[in-house]
Amino acid sequence: MLFSLFPFVSLSLFALAAQWSSGEPLVQMLWMASKVIFARGTTEPAPIGIVVGPPALKAALPGKTLSFAGVNYPTSIPGFLEGGDPQGSKTMATDAKIVAVGYSQCGQLVHNSAKQLSPAVSAHINAAVIFGDPDDGQAVAGISAANTKVICHKGDDICLHGDAILLPHLTYGEDAGTAAAFIAGKVQ
């Protein structure tokens, strides 16, 4: 049965080369009902940052088995300016329900990841949520608009394709509940 979970799908945020940084053994993560691969924002601490994260999603899905893993990549300003760190766009996943969540530069990783997917792999993504999306206005390739939620605050220069981190870009934690409810509706 374990081998039926392999081979892993290639999915930028879920591709073969990255390392898990959640601290959970990979085999344990393979058996989770829903796995959230979280790519934190530029300069946020590993593994999943502090502005947005798991608490709201756990609250929206009481009693559900969830596993959170951070993408192990350098959340650097040069990576943001490059359009998203190329190595951060590669990690791995299973046949679990897949949710891609990105904040800021990691929104770029969600977009970049989706462009690399085959339709068969894209079909495994139940939800994509992007906070403070530098690529706001662009569809997430291969993922239906109904399964995608982009949250951009008024006055967020990053969402306006700028590069200034202003106060509105640092307030997405207030939207964690909304995002969690959206994800919950897609993975239940």
- Would you please indicate which residues are annotated as catalytic (active-site) residues? 104, 156, 169
Q: Nearest CA to 104 among 72, 133, 74?
A: 133
Question: Residue 20 pairs with which residues in a beta bridge?
Answer: 71
Helix or strand run (H / E) with residue 130: strand 125-131
For CA atoms 68, 73, 75, 77, give the dihedral sign: negative
Query: In the structure, how many helices (H) and strands (E) does the chain have?
Result: 6, 5
Q: Measured between alpha carbons, how far is 96 from 88 in angstroms, rounded to an integer?
A: 20
